[in-house]
Chains A and B, each alone.
Chain A
Amino acid sequence: MRVEVTSNEFSPWEQLQAYEKTLIARHGLGAVATFVGTMRDYNEGERVQAMFLEHYPGMTEKYLHSLSETALQRWDILDTLIIHRVGEMQPGDTIVLVAAWAGHRAPAFEACRFLIEELKFKAPFWKRETRNYGVRWVEKNTI
């Protein structure tokens, strides 16, 4: 299990490949389900030029660790990976990578879905967008 909150730009594909190579529980590995979230260049019909992502250092990591533990207990999966970007970013940048490795696709998909949905609605992160006519905090997540 790995959780990382980073202010550096990252390639989700390179991170997936690198982490899969380190998996200790490779025996029985048959599936990986992934979710990659990317910064859009529009929101609510308006152009978004840049975004700042704030988090609660300490609590955010703690929350993501406990979420990963819950997924590992609840589903028959082998490992999980969560990487989330913070700080200043540009449209097209990867915001989040979530992955769940398992023997079969069903628990992999279900655990991956669980991780990203819980992260979106409970992990302490906040988005602030720079649009054409100013800066504003995003008030709630879309479904």
Chain B
Amino acid sequence: MAIIVKFFASLREEVGKSEVQMETPDSLTVAQVWAQVCDNAPLPAHVLMAVNMEYANQDAPVKNGDEVAFFPPVTGG
């Protein structure tokens, strides 16, 4: 299945990637997507996650065509 993975703000700079398209034969959770894209680096506790632009937790399932995003705590307003 094909997934789009996005990183934002300081996390994008730390990971060194903005957007990645990944192909995988397996069904994955959000945490497993992180592990595959970030070479099995541990998922930092403060990182927020979204699937298809809705907040999700690390155990959420990811389907074919989904967009998964990882980003640091938000600081708008």
Q: Which residues on A are within 8 Å of B, measured CB to CB?
A: 37, 53-56, 58-59, 62-63, 84, 95-96, 116, 119-128, 137-141
Contacts and interface: CB of A to CB of B under 8 A. Distances in A.
A124 B76 CA distance: 7
Given A56-B53, A59-B50, A123 B77 contact: yes
B69 interface: yes
Q: What's the dominant secondary structure at chain A's contact region?
A: mixed
Given A95-B77, A116-B77, A126-B75, A54 B53 contact: no
Contact of A54 (B8, B50, B55, B69): B8
B53 A126 contact: no
A63 B69 CA distance: 14
Interface of B: 6, 8-10, 50, 53-55, 69, 71-77
B77 A120 contact: yes
Among B54, B75, B76, the one with the most A-chain Cβ atoms within 10 Å of its Cβ is B76
Given A59-B69, A126-B8, A53 B53 contact: no
A3 to B, nearest CB: 13
Given A124-B71, A126-B71, A56 B8 contact: yes
Nearest to A140: B73
Contacts of B50: 56, 59, 124
A127 to B, nearest CB: 5
Contacts of B54: 59, 62
A122 B74 contact: yes
Contact of A126 (B6, B10, B55, B69): B10
Nearest to B48: A124
A79 B10 CA distance: 35
Closest 3 CB pairs of A and B: A125-B76, A126-B9, A59-B53
B74 A121 contact: yes
B74 A124 contact: yes
A63 B53 CA distance: 8
